[in-house]
């Protein structure tokens, strides 16, 4: 069926078009801000001017930019009906990537294996986030309203979630574990799950997270370093430098290239780039960036809510949640509202993996906009006499065929009997 022959709700299509325009403009400004920050602070490495390091960052971001735009084009061109058919290949590929990290292809750096080298290096966790949302959107759409689903229907998604979390935790990557748990919780809430199992999941996740922290004293120290002034030379150093940079920017900042903290703040082009941005562009610039992220998330949800297909609706909400959670966690860490953890700022942080997958996610939202307001014909689900849903298994279909044949035979015999009675009445008068 071509797009011209499908029926659409024009109001929803107009809403989606406005949201898509807002989304693309916001992403454009955020990506431009990322380039500005890279040009401002990218040449400084470990406190000194390093042109070779700057050149490598520019090359990496340029390659990531073109790769991400290529993904946008591919995602836009994929037939909407084919998106769901890619669910299993995507989630299986995510599992394979995480397993390959523990082979010689994995790159060991800073005490963990988070990178994969296959001729070029990338961080699989960025792909895993999107794959998890994709998979849960498909499974939850099949289940229907989660509050009415039985426990058996959660076994398959539960196995994959636990497996992904275990593989990411074994790297170890605690920020990745936290992110996958948060995404799973967000998708479950969007799917309408009961709050009782949600609280059980949260409790179990907290216990698991605490156990993983306890196994690594360095990460535990960074996690609990909420008071950056208590240990300036060790656990609180990075956060104290970040807070100083944010406050040093004042209302309108020190101007492009005017950051002082980029000479002393580790990861100033990646996880803590928002600190440098706030120092150079001030409270006004930082607030503008936060508003742009809010517009991206809002537009993503608006596009998702114009979908009548449950899978595409959940996929759109999940993609918006990825960007929203990631930006909120990054900015929360920079401002000292959350424990220090390695989460990049979408579209702005230097590096390739996050930019490629973030742009690819925007491409999927663009694809969703193609079916905004499209009339969706849900498959009829029969109910038994007591109101319980009857699932179509092979045995049920066979039983239904036999029952239908029997009903037709009974109706034929009744019609034949009635015809014989009418003939007898005409012949005998009784």
| Count of beta carbons in the 10 Å neighbourhood of residue 27 | 24
- pLDDT exceeds 90 at position 230: no
User: What is the C-alpha R_g of the chain?
Assistant: 28
Q: Pairing between strand 48-49 and 44-45?
A: antiparallel
Q: Which two tokens stand for residue 106?
A: 């994995």
- The helices-and-strands tally (H runs, E runs) of the chain is 14, 5
Residues 224-255 as b/e (b if ≥16 CB within 10 A, e otherwise) read ebeebeeeeeebbbbbbbbbbbbebbeeebbe
Give pLDDT tens digits for 290-309: 999 999 999 999 999 999 89
Instruction: Return the axis-axis angle of helices 155-169 and 87-100, rounded to nearest 10°.
Output: 30
Longest dimension (CA), the chain: 117
- Distance from chain centroid for Cα 88: 16
Instruction: Assess contact for 188 and 158: CB atoms under 8 A.
Output: no
| Count of beta carbons in the 10 Å neighbourhood of residue 98 | 26
What per-residue confidence (pLDDT) applies to 326?
Answer: 94
Q: Which two tokens stand for residue 296?
A: 């991206």
- Length of the chain, in residues: 430
Q: Which secondary structure element, helix H or strand E, spans residue 242, and what is its range?
A: helix 237-248
Instruction: Assess contact for 129 and 353: CB atoms under 8 A.
Output: no
Read off the pTM.
Answer: 0.81
What per-residue confidence (pLDDT) applies to 278?
Answer: 93
Lowest mean pLDDT among 80-89, 131-140, 261-270, 372-381: 372-381
DSSP state of 85: G
DSSP state of 389: B
Q: How many CA atoms lie within 13 A of 118 on its CB side?
A: 9
| Count of beta carbons in the 10 Å neighbourhood of residue 263 | 14
Mean pLDDT of the chain: 82
Instruction: Assess contact for 162 and 392: CB atoms under 8 A.
Output: no
Give the highest mean pLDDT range of 46-60, 84-98, 178-192: 84-98
């Amino acid at each position: 069926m071509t797009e011209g022959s499908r029926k659409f709700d024009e109001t929803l299509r107009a809403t989606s078009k406005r949201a898509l325009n807002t989304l693309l403009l916001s992403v454009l400004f955020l990506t431009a801000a990322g380039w500005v920050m890279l040009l401002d602070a990218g040449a400084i490495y470990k406190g000194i001017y390093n042109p070779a390091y700057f050149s490598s960052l520019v090359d990496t971001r340029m390659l990531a930019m073109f790769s991400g735009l290529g993904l946008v084009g591919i995602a836009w061109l994929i037939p909407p009906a084919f998106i769901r058919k890619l669910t299993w290949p995507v989630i299986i590929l995510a599992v394979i990537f995480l397993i390959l990290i523990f082979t010689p292809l994995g790159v060991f750096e800073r005490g963990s294996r988070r990178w994969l080298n296959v001729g070029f290096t990338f961080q699989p966790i960025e792909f895993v986030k999107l794959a998890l949302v994709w998979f849960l959107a498909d499974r939850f759409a099949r289940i229907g309203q989660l509050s009415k689903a039985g426990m058996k229907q959660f076994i398959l998604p539960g196995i994959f979630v636990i497996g992904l979390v275990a593989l990411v935790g074994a790297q170890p990557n605690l920020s990745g574990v936290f992110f996958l748990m948060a995404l799973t919780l967000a998708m479950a809430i969007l799917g309408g799950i009961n709050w009782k199992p949600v609280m059980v999941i949260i409790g179990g996740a907290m216990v698991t997270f605490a156990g993983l922290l306890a196994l690594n004293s360095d990460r535990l120290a960074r996690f609990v370093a909420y008071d950056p002034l208590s240990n300036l030379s060790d656990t609180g150093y990075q956060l104290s430098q970040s807070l100083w940079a944010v406050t040093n920017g004042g209302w309108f900042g020190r101007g492009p290239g005017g950051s002082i903290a980029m000479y002393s703040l580790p990861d100033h082009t990646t996880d803590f780039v928002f600190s440098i941005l706030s120092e150079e562009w001030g409270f006004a610039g930082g607030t503008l960036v936060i508003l742009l992220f809010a517009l991206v998330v809002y537009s993503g949800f608006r596009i998702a809510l114009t979908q009548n297909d449950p899978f595409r609706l959940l996929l759109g909400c999940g993609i918006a949640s990825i960007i929203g959670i990631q930006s909120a966690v990054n900015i929360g860490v920079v401002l000292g509202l959350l424990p220090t953890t390695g989460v990049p700022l979408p579209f702005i942080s230097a590096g390739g993996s996050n930019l490629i997958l973030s742009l690819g996610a925007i491409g999927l939202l663009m694809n969703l906009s193609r079916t905004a307001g499209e009339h969706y014909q849900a498959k009829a689900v029969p109910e038994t006499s007591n109101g319980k849903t009857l699932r179509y298994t092979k045995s049920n279909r066979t039983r239904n065929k036999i029952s239908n044949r029997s009903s037709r035979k009974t109706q034929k015999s009744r019609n034949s009997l009635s015809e014989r009675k009418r003939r007898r009445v005409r012949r005998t008068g009784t």
